């Protein structure tokens, strides 16, 4: 197995471009995911640390949809039923948590887009359709009319909103189209406008958390969140905004979201180090040589860059296409686990929450998901869910 992995890696290490390497990567990725199905089993993975073993978190945790979403993409790309079989029951299992004490919040899009929504899109399953609508209703119910934002977490943070929600908007736009109900689009566009006007700074950098007075809607302050500080530039926050605004443009056709995505993308690309994989924060005080990378920011951004490339003219889009390919080729060559057959993840060097001292230099399931999503897009995948 290890010798086979070495031979495969020679093929993409010697390739002149991502396009040349892509068939070999896809072959290796299928073998890798087949092994992950056996290794992960019924676990709901989030983090794999130095031992290479994915953990098993509760189903109302925000990352519970990414593993089945990865499997649905593999099924759609290959037509192989074992991917569908492994993914099938996840939307039902996650839904069951909704009738129990739980901690669902703004991230229901991350949980039901890659489970219920894609399941219905690919199979026509009516229960999946119902679950997707329930999640969209839940998210719309978190909208604060006075402040024009989606509330982030629960507990006492009633006025907090976070840039991560940019990615969850797709479930609102999907519901608006699927059920011919513009209310969902109204909420999605209102929050997207707040992202454009409040979260994305003039230079294309992005705030992570904004605090509003939940009664008056008055903006209060920017909070550092998972970045280095209130005015820093957390790289995964950049990728959430980039990808989320590109998605919002795809659903709405409103060019202000396209231009916002481009502004964030241009800033993101200007900040990348030589190997095209971002550090955890683009404005942290420490020397760049000592900062951890975040491969999950890289994969989400790469997938978003491919959305931008699709949205623009071939000449203008080529800039973002080539950038995405450089990121993905670097990840493939330098940050993947091809030569570690017992490792349950695809990518290394993810950073979860550095300020809290949590999950630094680990594998993250959403990093793996967006890697597969981006590779699938390069191969022509069209059944977008985010």
197 vs 219: CA distance, rounded Å: 12
Asked whether the predicted pLDDT for residue 296 surpasses 70, the reply is yes
Tokens linked to 290: 């000592």
Q: For residue 205, what are the CA distances in angstroms to 49, 144, 235? A: 30, 24, 9
Q: How far apart (Å, rounded) are the C-alpha atoms in residues 249 and 263?
A: 14
Segment 141-188, tens digit of pLDDT: 999 999 999 999 998 889 999 999 999 999 999 999 999 999 999 999
- Exposed, middle or buried, 315 (CB in 10 Å: 0-12/13-18/19+)? exposed
Distances (CA, A) of 311 to 155, 169, 195, 261: 39, 18, 20, 11
Identify which of 15, 112, 18 has the alpha carbon closest to the alpha carbon of residue 60.
112
pLDDT at 286 over 80: no
Tell if the pTM clears 0.95, that is, is over it: yes
Per this entry, what is the length of the chain? 386
User: pLDDT tier at 288 (50, 70, 90 boundaries)?
Assistant: low
**47, β-bridge pairs:** 364
Residues 258, 320: contact at Cβ < 8 Å? no
Helix extents (H) in 88-146: 90-96, 108-112, 118-123, 126-140
């Amino acid at each position: 197995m290890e010798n086979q992995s070495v031979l495969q890696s020679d093929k993409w290490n010697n390739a002149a471009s991502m396009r040349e390497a892509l068939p070999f990567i896809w072959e290796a990725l299928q073998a890798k995911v087949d092994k992950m199905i056996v290794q992960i089993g019924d676990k709901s993975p989030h983090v794999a640390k130095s031992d290479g073993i994915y953990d098993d978190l509760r189903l109302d945790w925000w990352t519970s949809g990414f593993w089945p979403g990865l499997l649905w993409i593999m099924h759609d790309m290959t037509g192989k039923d074992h991917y569908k079989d492994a993914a099938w029951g996840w939307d039902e299992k996650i839904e069951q948590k909704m009738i129990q004490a739980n901690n669902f919040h703004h991230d229901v899009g991350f949980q039901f887009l890659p489970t219920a929504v894609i399941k219905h899109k690919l199979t026509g399953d009516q229960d999946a359709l119902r679950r997707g609508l329930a999640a969209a209703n839940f998210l719309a119910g978190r909208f604060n009319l006075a402040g024009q934002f989606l509330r982030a977490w629960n507990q006492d943070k009633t006025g907090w909103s976070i840039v991560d929600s940019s990615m969850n908007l797709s479930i609102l736009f999907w519901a608006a189209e699927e059920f011919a109900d513009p209310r969902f689009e109204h909420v999605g566009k209102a929050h997207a406008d707040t992202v454009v006007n409040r979260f994305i700074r003039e230079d294309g950098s992005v705030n992570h958390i904004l605090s509003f007075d939940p009664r008056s809607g008055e903006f209060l302050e920017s909070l550092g969140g998972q970045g280095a500080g209130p005015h820093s530039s957390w790289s995964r926050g950049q990728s959430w905004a980039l990808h989320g605004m590109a998605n919002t443009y795809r659903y709405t056709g409103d060019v202000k979201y396209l231009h916002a995505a481009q502004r964030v993308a241009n800033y993101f690309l200007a900040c990348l180090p030589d190997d095209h994989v971002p550090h955890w924060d683009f404005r942290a005080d420490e020397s760049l040589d000592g900062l951890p990378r975040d491969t999950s920011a890289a994969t989400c951004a790469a997938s978003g860059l491919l959305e931008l490339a699709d949205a623009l003219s071939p000449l203008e889009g080529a800039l973002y296409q080539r950038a995405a390919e450089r990121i993905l080729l670097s990840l493939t060559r330098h940050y993947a686990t091809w030569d570690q057959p017992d490792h349950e993840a695809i990518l290394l060097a993810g950073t979860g929450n550095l300020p809290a001292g949590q999950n630094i230099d680990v594998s993250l399931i959403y990093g793996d998901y967006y890697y597969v999503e981006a590779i699938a897009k390069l191969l022509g995948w069209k059944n977008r869910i985010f």
